[in-house]
Structure 1
């Protein structure tokens, strides 16, 4: 196929759907991967969907990437959007929350990246874009497990960018609070106009995934709105 193919993990989520809409507008062949059933949440046309994929499991991720590459003729870009958030103090929380944050935020990015590498390294302009967090640079109370997992994403980004130098660019965005229904429900007294709109964050992600970003690798780019 002549179109570049972009794989989006966490494709059932708010940011995953925003990135998919942007990618389709930019002319990509889009593959959505998620552990959840994806369905047709945003009325997207021209995309390929794989639900029920466990991105913490190497075999599951590898099978999904191979299927995507087979259907689309390769993989040119990977957006590691799969992840989650938990607010919990260490004193009152569960130590297992740390394992869960590392699994869904860091391990998914590691496993998906490794699974996609056989095709990304064959692309003329392979791209990996990870989702870090501004809170990983300076954390706050109750964000220890989340921030630590996202700090791991930052170190993965830096390390992998050097490993793949000259073959695949690897970058990360560091958003602050994203304007989602869940965040509005959790923080009803906040002003969401200060937050980062999913479409705005998707625009930055898609730039880093584009051929125009060939000179950018190993970057940790803050996208913080007015927070």
Structure 2
């Protein structure tokens, strides 16, 4: 088994579960940090539940729990986030909520993890942006703006860390093939979407030592959309 330790925020969501499964298959040591708690998981997975990553103190405590358990941290995979479709005129609280769920969670977790990632020979941060944030569609203003901010966070942090071992990259998926998306778009062809397992494989490559030459990348993962 690899000695590398990965912390996965939002590990109980559809994508998060796919990443956990793929990480375990690669022999990685896995910690799941999530707002939800009480989920069943393999015994080898460290569950850190009930965490509000929009609170810097809770994010720091969660990362400290991971390091105390495993003795190290090599990669942070920021998968926690949310989505809402709402027009600018019709929305009220969605902008703040989207920035909190998508940007603030990644920012707080990254800040908390950085001292430990710098201590790793091959520290990694992988964020989840959105291909839809490259050009916002109707009803996608709040979501796209928050994911665009994740892109800028990725680029800025990658530049700041170029003198260290830590790389920072983001994947930009289009529509992910989840049960929720199938329910919301019953007339679409999900075969054109991105399978969670395929996106998980891309994330874990960016989190691997083999991706050491890649930093500051915003990698589209768009299936056949």
Please give the TM-score of this superposition, normalised by the length of structure 2: 0.97
The number of residue pairs the alignment matches comes to 224
The reply to whether residue 163 of structure 1 matches residue 160 of structure 2 is yes
Q: For each residue in 1:81-137, what CA deviation from the matched residue of structure 2 results, as whole angstroms up to 9, or x when unmatched?
A: 00010000112222x100000000000000000011110010000000000000110
| Residue of 144, 147, 169 corresponding to 2:144 | 147
Q: What is the DSSP-based 3-state SS (H/G/I as helix, E as strand, rest coil) of the residue aligned with 1:79? A: strand
| Contact 1:173–1:205 (8 Å) recurs in 2 | yes
The reply to whether residue 121 of structure 1 matches residue 91 of structure 2 is no
- Displacement over 3 Å in runs of 4+: none
Q: What is the DSSP-based 3-state SS (H/G/I as helix, E as strand, rest coil) of the residue aligned with 1:218? A: coil
State the alpha-carbon separation in 2 of the partners of residues 86 and 183 from structure 1.
12
- Deviation of 1:39 after TM superposition, in Å, equals 1.3
2:222 aligns with 224
2:91 aligns with 93
| Contact 1:21–1:44 (8 Å) recurs in 2 | no
| Contact 2:172–2:221 (8 Å) recurs in 1 | yes
1:194 aligns with 192
- Name stretches of at least 5 consecutive residues in structure 2 with no aligned partner: none
Residue 46 to residue 177, structure 1, CA distance change in 2 (3 Å): same
Please give the TM-score of this superposition, normalised by the length of structure 1: 0.96
Residue 45 to residue 193, structure 1, CA distance change in 2 (3 Å): farther
| Residue of 66, 80, 83 corresponding to 1:82 | 80
CA RMSD in angstroms, aligned pairs only: 1.2
